[in-house]
Structure 1
Amino acid sequence: MNNENIKNKQVLIFILATGVFGILNTEMGFIGILPYIAENYQVTVVQAGWLISLFALGVAVAGPTMPLLLSRFNRKYLMVFILGLFTLCNVIAVFAENFFVLLAVRVLPAFFHPVYCSMAFTVAAALAKPGEEPKSVAKINAGVAAGMVAGVPISNFLAEQFSLSASMAFFAMATFLVLLLTIWLVPSMPVKTGMSYGSQLSVLRKPMLWASIMAVIFLNGSIFGVFNYLTEYLGTVSGVVPALVSILLFVYGLCNIGGSMMAGNLLTERPLLVVKSFPLAVAVVYIALLGGGSVWPLMGVIVVIWGILGGINANINQYWIANAAPEAPDFANGLFLTAANMGCVLGTMVSGQFISAWGTQYVVLGGLLFCLLAALTFWVQCSHKQVNTLLRIQAEH
Structure 2
Amino acid sequence: MALALLALALGAFAIGTTEFVIMGLLPQVAGGLDISIASAGHLVSAYALGVVIGAPLLTALGTRLRRRNALLAFLGVFVLGNLATALAPGYGAVFAARLLAGLPHGAVLGVSTLVAAHLVGPARQATAVARVLLGLTVANIVGVPAGTYLGQVFGWRAAFLVVAVLGAVAVAGVAAFVPHVPVAAGGGLGRELRALGRRQVWLGLVTAVFGFAGVFAVYSYISPMMTELAGLPAAAVPVVLALFGVGMTAGSLVVGPLGDRALRPTIYGALAALAVVLVVFAWAVHTPWAAVLLTVLLGAVGFGVTAPLQVLIMQKAGDAPTMAAASNHSAFNLANAGGAWLGGVGISAGFGYASPAIIGAVLTVVGLGLALLAGRLDRGDGAGPEVVAVGGRARADELCADRD
TM-score by length of structure 2 reads 0.89
SS in 2 for 1:64: helix
- Find the aligned partners of 1:387 and 1:194 in 2 and give their Cα distance: 30
Which residue of structure 2 lines up, in the alignment, with residue 269 of structure 1?
261
* Offset at residue 79 of structure 1 (A): 3.0
Q: Is the 8 A contact 1:31 1:152 kept in 2?
A: no
Indicate whether 1:297 and 2:305 are aligned. Answer: no
Q: Deviations over 1:368-389 (max 9, x none)?
A: 1112211211122222244784
Pairing 1:380–2:373 present = yes
Matched, 1:23 2:15: yes
| CA drift at 1:234 | 1.0
Aligned residues: 389
More off after superposition, 251-260 vs 380-389? 380-389
**Aligned-CA RMSD value:** 2.2
- Cα distance in 2, alignment partners of residues 192 and 208 from structure 1: 20
Q: What amino acid is the match of 2:241?
A: L
**1:83 is the counterpart of 2:75:** yes
Deviations 1:76-104 (A, max 9, x none): 33333333333334334333332222222
Q: Is the 8 A contact 2:71 2:112 kept in 1?
A: no
Measured after TM superposition, the shift of residue 259 of structure 1 is 0.7
Shift of 1:204: 4.1
| 2:43 equivalent in structure 1 | 51
Q: Percent identity?
A: 24
CA distance in 2 between partners of 1:271 and 1:80 (Å): 30
- CA distance in structure 2 between the partners assigned to 1:39 and 1:354 by the alignment: 30
Amino acid at match of 1:343: A
Task: Confirm whether residue 128 of structure 1 aligns to residue 139 of structure 2.
Answer: no
Aligned equivalents of 2:266, 2:127: Cα separation in 1? 14
Q: What does 1:146-165 correspond to in 2, within 5 Å?
A: 146-165=138-157
CA distance in 2, matches of 1:282, 1:388: 29
Q: What is the aligned partner in structure 1 of residue 131 from structure 2?
A: 139
1:65 and 1:334 in contact (8 A); partners too:
no
Asked if the contact 1:272/1:391 (under 8 Å) is kept, the reply is no
Q: How does 1:1-397 map to 2 (within 5 A)?
A: 9-191=1-183, 193=185, 195-357=187-349, 358-386=351-379, 389-390=382-383, 392=385
**Residues 382 and 388, structure 1, Cα contact 8 Å, conserved in 2:** no
**C-alpha separation in 1, matches of 2:154 and 2:133:** 31
Do 1:28 and 1:151's aligned partners in 2 also have CA atoms closer than 8 Å?
A: no
1:159-196 Cα deviation digits (max 9, x unpaired): 22232232232212211222232333344444363512
* Cα distance in 1 for residues equivalent to 2:186 and 2:45: 33
Question: Per the alignment, in what secondary structure is the counterpart of residue 371 of structure 1?
Answer: helix
Note the C-alpha offset of 1:266.
0.9
| Deviation of the 1:247 alpha carbon | 0.5
SS of residue in 1 equivalent to 2:63: coil
CA distance in 1, matches of 2:79, 2:41: 22
Offset from partner CA, 1:113-172 (integer Å, 9 cap, x none): 222111101101111222321011011110121224434322221122232232232212
- How big is the shift at 1:26? 2.0
Query: Mean alpha-carbon deviation: is it higher for 136-145 or for 209-218?
Result: 209-218
User: 1:330-371 deviations in whole A, cap 9, x for unaligned?
Assistant: 111122111111122222222222222211122211111112
The change in CA–CA distance for 1:173 and 1:195 in structure 2 (over 3 A counts) is same
Q: Which amino acid aligns with 2:215?
A: I
Deviates more, 1:112-121 or 1:60-69: 60-69
Distance 1:28 1:134, change over 3 A: same
The answer to whether the 8 Å contact 2:65/2:183 transfers is yes
Q: 1:23 to 1:310 in 2, by over 3 A?
A: same
More helix by share: 1
Gaps of 5+ in 1: 1-8
**Cα distance, 1:47 vs. partner?**
1.8
Q: Quick one: distance in 2 between partners of 1:14 and 1:364?
A: 35
**Distance in 2 between residues matched to 1:276 and 1:261, nearest whole Å:** 18
Separation of aligned partners in 2, 1:30 and 1:314:
23
1:6 alignment partner in structure 2 = none
CA distance in 2, matches of 1:278, 1:310: 7
TM-score by length of 1: 0.91
Give, in whole Å, the separation in 2 of the partners of 1:378 and 1:215.
Answer: 6
Separation (CA, whole Å) in 1 of partners of 2:181 and 2:354: 50
- What is the CA distance between 1:290 and its match in structure 2? 2.5
